[in-house]
Amino acid sequence: MTKDTTASVNRRNDIISAAIEVFAEIGYYRATTAQVAERAQISQPYIFRFFKTKEALLLTALEVSWTRVIDSFRLVVETATPDQLESELIEAYEQILESHKSEIMLQMQAQTIQEDVIRQAMQKGFGEVRTMVLNAFSNAGIADAKQRTLVFLAIGMLCNISTALDMPELKER
């Protein structure tokens, strides 16, 4: 990779990170590309060098956030013993919530956006997570894997709400 290519990739990543933070803090509809540019410490037109529209930037930000969850879960699925699978998946998700809270808050906000392309991105990400967890639970011999997957995902959503509302008591087991 050339120096210019590396700088371009880094700048693109800076824009995505800034967009995740801005969209998570004030919402997609209220956020502007000018605010994203300010957060990334670049000019607003520079954003459009990488992303044609604000929606394209949101879709990329969502892809980044879902990839983080999926990659983290994949690592657990590949290394956890069957009896530790669920607890290690929970721990992996709690680490994501702690270190990448804005990404999860972004996903929560995106769940309410009705544009088809956004809904499809959310369905794809959530569907991949569901399938991975269901397959992992089934392969681990966990009884009633479908129900356990549903409960696991529901608890994850409750953890999101707990984090968003700063109500840790919702996560107490």
Give the pLDDT score at 8. Answer: 75
Handedness of CA 79, 85, 86, 87 (dihedral sign): negative
Give the three-class secondary structure for 84: coil
Q: Exposed (0-12), middle (13-18) or buried (19+): which is 14, by Cβ within 10 Å?
A: middle
Give the pLDDT confidence of 31-58 residue by residue, as tens digits.
999 999 999 999 999 999 999 999 999 9
58-62, 90-94, 166-170 — which one is most confidently predicted on average? 58-62
- The first and second tokens of residue 167, run together, are 């109500």
What's the CATH code, domain 3-171?
1.10.357.10
Spatial neighbors of 2 by CB under 8 A, at least 6 apart, are none
Query: In the 8-state DSSP scheme, what is residue 80?
Result: -
Give the pLDDT confidence of 89-115 residue by residue, as tens digits.
999 999 999 999 999 999 999 999 999
If phi > 0 it is left, if psi is from -120 to 50 it is alpha, else beta; for residue 2 that is: beta
If phi > 0 it is left, if psi is from -120 to 50 it is alpha, else beta; for residue 11 that is: alpha
Is residue 42 within 8 Å of 16, Cβ to Cβ?
Answer: no
Is residue 47 within 8 Å of 102, Cβ to Cβ?
Answer: no
Give the pLDDT score at 53. Answer: 97
Residues shown for the chain = 173
User: Residues 117, 119, 122, CA angle at the centre, nearest 5°?
Assistant: 110
Is residue 76 within 8 Å of 85, Cβ to Cβ?
Answer: yes
Give the pLDDT confidence of 125-158 residue by residue, as tens digits.
999 999 999 999 999 999 999 999 999 999 999 9
Give the pLDDT score at 88. Answer: 96
Domain coordinates of the chain in residue numbers? 3-171
SS (H, E, C) 67-125: HHHHHHHHHHHHHCCCCCHHHHHHHHHHHHHHHCHHHHHHHHHHCCCCCHHHHHHHHHH
Model-wide pTM > 0.85? yes
